[in-house]
Amino acid sequence: SQQGEEDPQALSIQEGENATMNCSYKTSINNLQWYRQNSGRGLVHLILIRSNEREKHSGRLRVTLDTSKKSSSLLITASRAADTASYFCATESLGNDMRFGAGTRLTVKP
């Protein structure tokens, strides 16, 4: 069963704009990870944030984690057409399997 739920399900923006995707989950976690997927095939790891961290940055990506609200957000700044993909959050609890949400489909128009 899936735990994370991404919001929105789909997002369409213009190149240069920022894109924000949210993820909510239900149980306590050890860490939360964001992945990107092109064309329904292999997933690419973007960022891992541990439960004792609140914010992490990687290039144009910024991830926040609020364990009290059981939610996370992924911000992509200055988006590019090449950022068009599906983005998934995945939660991991110690000793348990990684649970993915259904994803946000991001379209960046040139």
Nearest approach in angstroms of CB 42 to another protein is: 4
Residue number, 19 or 103, with CB nearest to another protein: 103
Residue number, 24 or 30, with CB nearest to another protein: 30
Binding mask 5-44 for another protein (x = CB under 8 A): -------------------------xx-x-x----xxxxx
CA distances from 78 to 9, 11, 57 (A): 20, 15, 14
- The alpha carbon dihedral of 31, 36, 40, 42 has a sign of negative
Dist CA 84 CA 11 (whole Å): 10
Nearest approach in angstroms of CB 91 to another protein is: 11
